[in-house]
Structure 1
Amino acid sequence: MKSTIADGIHYFGLSGFPLAVRRVETDSAHTPSHPHDLTEIEHSHDFCELVIVTRGGAMHMLEGSVFPVTAGDVFLLQGRQRHYFYERKGLDLINIMYDPEKIALPENELRRMPGYCAMFMLEPTYRRQHRFASRLHLKRVPLARVERLAEEMEQECEEDAPGKEVALRAKLLELMVYLSRAYTSSDTTEAHALLRVGNVIGALENDFSKDWKLEDLLKIAHMSRSNLMRVFRKATGQTPIEYLVRLRIQRAMEMLRNSDLSVTEIALEVGFNDSNYFTRQFRRILGESPRSFRQGKE
């Protein structure tokens, strides 16, 4: 089967705010629910898609693996993941499509929540390995709350009133926080495994200047060294210590732009005990010294 690219321009418009809500409803003829409805056609996106299954069920083909989906399932499809649905039985979906970079989500703040790390960062990576058992599944009452938030976003898109972009970003963040908190209550073994790593990421994000040791992170995760390193690297592409170093450098960049503190003071503020080591790490990651970066941003 040839895969199609779902181009964001078809959903956001040429210059529109990169967030859209699309409903998919299944009738007896499986009539497309909206222009560019690719539900039963293998496709990938150049954006993220948060899928909320509100009714019925189907089989979901994702990257060559098949998973059943039912009402209450909520999961994230990251860009370039090939998928489609088949054997739809009364399947109704709400698809929230967004480009996280272009709408400037506060990722640093979101990653402080273990549930966000688990659901939005880790679960898409481990979905095939866990046979979809690590997904978020909502019962009727929380699903109704999620549907209401999605409906409010849909209404904002349709009305296109002044302030739409601010309202949509705020409602998407509210939805993400609600889902992240709900994920922490997941009762599957697979979800708990992701939450343990999410706890590590959240701890680093919440207290990046702390003198972290790998042993501290192992205690938080309740995992062996080899298991934590493997899962963390698969999810983030980095070791926990490398993640911490890059997190500190990111915070240092903000301080170099927005404060008058010296390079040494900034190094200490973000958790480096040695300003020379800080400078070496800064140069390794960004290709220039902190002083050069500050001068170039003034």
Structure 2
Amino acid sequence: MALLAKGVDYFGEGGFPVTVRRVATLAAGAPAHPHDVTEIEHWHDFCELVIVVGGRGRHLLEGGAFHVSTGDVFVVQGEQVHCFRERDGLVLLNVMYDPTRIPLPTGLLRRLPGYSALFMLEPAFRKAHRFSSRLRLSRSELARAEALVERMEAECGNVTEGKQNVRDGHEAVLLALLVELMVFLSRHYGASGSTESRALLRVGELVSLLEQRYHEPWTLEQLAARAGLSRTNLLLTFRRATGQSPIDFIIGLRVAAARRLLRQTTLDITDIALECGYADSNYFARQFHQVQGLTPSAYRRQERSSR
């Protein structure tokens, strides 16, 4: 039975949920750090961005096995069972973070096709693609990524007796560096040339397009044509990437935009509906209520009364 690697053991009790662990292959299988479970089948209650900075080994993931070596970069999502075996000088940088507890600018990140492909799609399709859709960095690119992670390591401080010795403002710096690292890796994934990577990027490009043009009257047929997929494959792949159907994703973006306009402007409901892509303000109000649990007018009153 797989072991649960708990975030509290890495972030600390009440600690900021972003940290780094460097894992080197030591003699006689000695652990590289407290709570090192690299060779034990385990799963996390957080996400882990893995950067291979040296050596090689075999990654066991969800019943599959993939060879990894210097320059490979991939994401292990929370509930995926994995471990590393047959380590030959393998050195890993594990960037651990809990996306449910930090204010990642997800909307902005999803404007990068490479972000949706690398952080959302590639983990789900890794087994089917036999790891060929992974990101692989050149030596110079790897050096830049490692330098960013080393700055994160410096901000994490030392963990002693369950307490972190860190500098004031380390949370803001760690979040900024994590976002910078995500953008750096996403840009390089966006330039990937493998057939499998390009397939994931087409869906990533679609997510990016919708983030910026959610107000347009898209149909499933138009979206499938944009992604170069059948309607059925689009629905399956998009749900794996976002947890939603394309239409529900668009509705979510429109409602989020409407919330901003209701809070920040004095536009009437009809004008806000038009701004967000709805020709019928009554239909807009029904969809807003379905997602938000309040009518647009009630939401605006609630926001104003709370100021």
For Structure 1 versus Structure 2, the TM-score category normalised by the shorter chain is over 0.9
Q: Which amino acid aligns with 1:95?
A: N
**Shift of residue 215 of structure 1?**
4.2
Which secondary structure state, in structure 1, belongs to the residue aligned with residue 75 of structure 2? strand
**Structure 2 unmatched runs, 5+:** 158-164
Alignment of 1:107-126 (within 5 A): 107-126=106-125
2:267 maps to which residue? Answer: 261
> Which residues of 2 match residues 118-267 of structure 1 at below 5 A?
118-158=117-157, 160-267=166-273
Shift of 1:218: 3.3
Give, in whole Å, the separation in 2 of the partners of 1:125 and 1:293: 36
Instruction: Give the gaps of 5 or more residues in structure 1.
Output: none
Aligned position for 1:79: 78
Q: Which residue of 1 aligns with 2:38?
A: 39
Q: Aligned partners of 1:229, 1:166: CA distance in 2, in Å?
A: 37
- Offset of residue 233 of structure 1: 2.5
Structure 1 position 292, deviation (Å):
2.1
With normalisation by structure 1, the TM-score equals 0.95
Deviations 1:187-213 (A, max 9, x none): 211100000000100000022222333
Equivalent residue runs for 1:60-99 within 5 Å: 60-99=59-98
Greater CA deviation, 13-22 or 153-162? Answer: 153-162
* Residue aligning to 2:14: 15
How many residues align structurally? 297
Give the deviation of 1:165 after TM superposition: 1.2
1:296 partner amino acid: Q
Deviates more, 1:238-247 or 1:176-185: 238-247
Deviation at 1:274, TM superposition (A): 1.1
Write the letter of the residue equivalent to 1:206.
Q
Higher alpha-carbon deviation: 148-157 or 259-268: 259-268
With normalisation by structure 2, the TM-score equals 0.92
Name the % identity. 53
What RMSD over aligned residues (CA atoms) do the two structures have, in Å? 1.5
> Aligned in 2, Cα 1:103/1:234: closer, same or farther, shift over 3 Å?
closer
